[in-house]
Amino acid sequence: MTDTTARSPVSAPQMIADALLRSVAGSSAQLRVTGASSDSSQSELGLIATTFSEVVISPVVMRKLRPAAKTGDASQWEMLVSATSVQAQVNALDLQSAQALFAMTLAVTMAGSDYLIESVASNEAFGKVYLYRLTLRETFQQAL
Amino acid sequence: MNGDHLWSLFRVPISMQNAKDSFYLALRSRLAVINPQRTVLVRGALRPGILLEDAEAPVAQPPADVFVMHWGALGAETELPSAMVAMECEISYCTSGTQAFGGLDRGRSLTTMDRELIAILQPLSTPKVNYSVQPAAPMQTQVFWDEPTFPSINVQRDRVSRSARVMVYSYQEKGE
């Protein structure tokens, strides 16, 4: 939902969103982000191990959207993420946008479980994003 | 190829890895020439719009407007002077059309991708190269393949997709 009213942007909606996320037991999540130096034929063929870094975002809140209908199905979750935290990581990694950060994210880890990002949506007020909503799906356990 | 020849896989050491790598990189290079605008952002790098599914991270759903390669059935013919290996490659692609047309051009976009796939598969061969060494070492034989088969379109809400299949062949060389 976008507020198109012409007013100067302020940080109040972001502060309120952060406060609300914390007040409902907001926790932290880790984004597993790929290294940027992966542009070579060998990395495309799986011959070079890609480097990963863990990016912590907080506060976040998760809720289940759809339970698994049958055995083997993956449940769907929604993660509400503080835009302030995302913006801080975008600046730290010198990226152009939050979308770029989410595009480089292989998995989201929360409470020891890995999730894949299915879609990203954002909520805005006064022309500024105050909350990101990630639709996540549980990953299948990989062999170690 | 019948079951007896498949069984021979266990008697003769056979590897299709160099052929798979050569096939993928040939298609990738040809796509970059035929349609440089078809690109995909993967792991922070902008690349030609073709991916090897088993060399990338698992995704919730395949990216749109990109060719995704998946390797399938494997067979071998060892009663020839040089053993020949064959492997089926499935090349999937999907599109929701363009935003400018509100997705109403998704049929046309899929046709464009059909045409591009046929174009990048021509000619039906490429030199076999060993990419596991640096620099990549050209080998003695070629990788070659059949004409692709195009099954019917799969429609899922606003997304249309297709999975073309190609049988890729390679002669086994010494040291493979």
pTM summary value? 0.76
Least Cα distance to B23 among B115, B89, B113 occurs for: B89
Chain A hits for B39, CB-CB cut-off 8 Å, are none
Pairing of strands B50-52, B67-77: parallel
Q: What is the mean pLDDT of chain B?
A: 89
User: Is A79 or B41 the better-scoring residue by pLDDT?
Assistant: A79
The most confident of the ranges A107-116, B41-50, B102-111 is: B102-111
Specify the pLDDT at position A143.
37
Helix (H) or strand (E) holding B18: helix B17-34
Q: Quote ipTM for the complex.
A: 0.76
Minimum CA–CA partner of B41 in chain A: A103
Specify the pLDDT at position B32.
96
What integer is the mean pLDDT of B62-85?
A: 89
What integer is the mean pLDDT of B27-33?
A: 97
CA distances from B33 to A15, B19, B92, B114, B143 (A): 49, 21, 20, 16, 20
CB contact under 8 A, B52 and A103: no
Name which of B43, B46, B47 is nearest A104 (Cβ-Cβ): B43
Specify the pLDDT at position B56.
85
Minimum CA–CA partner of B21 in chain A: A45
Neighbours of A101 (CB within 10 A): 22
The most confident of the ranges B11-20, B58-67, B140-149 is: B140-149
Specify the pLDDT at position A104.
84
Specify the pLDDT at position A68.
61
User: Is B55 or A50 the better-scoring residue by pLDDT?
Assistant: B55
- Give the confidence band of B5 by pLDDT, cuts at 50, 70, 90: very low
The pair of three-digit structure tokens given for residue A142, joined into one six-digit string: 């990989």
CB contact under 8 A, B131 and A41: yes
Burial label for A2, CB within 10 Å (0-12, 13-18, 19+), is exposed
Determine the residue type at A111: A
CB contact under 8 A, A44 and B47: yes
Minimum CA–CA partner of A104 in chain B: B43
What integer is the mean pLDDT of B97-104?
A: 89
**A41, A99, A97, A30: CA torsion to nearest 10:** -90
Rounded Cα–Cα distance for residues B159 and B95 (Å): 6
What's the half-sphere exposure (Cβ side, CA atoms, 13 Å) at A102? Answer: 21
Residue B162 has pLDDT above 90, yes or no: yes
- Give the confidence band of B81 by pLDDT, cuts at 50, 70, 90: confident
Specify the pLDDT at position B118.
97
Residue B82 has pLDDT above 50, yes or no: yes
3-state secondary structure of B99: helix
B90: which strand partners?
B70, B165
A134: which strand partners?
A79, A120
Residue B6 has pLDDT above 50, yes or no: no
Rounded Cα–Cα distance for residues B38 and A100 (Å): 18
- Give the confidence band of B1 by pLDDT, cuts at 50, 70, 90: very low
Q: Which residues does chain A have with pLDDT short of 70?
A: 1-9, 36-39, 67-73, 140-144
Among left, alpha and beta (phi > 0; psi -120 to 50; other), residue A42 is alpha
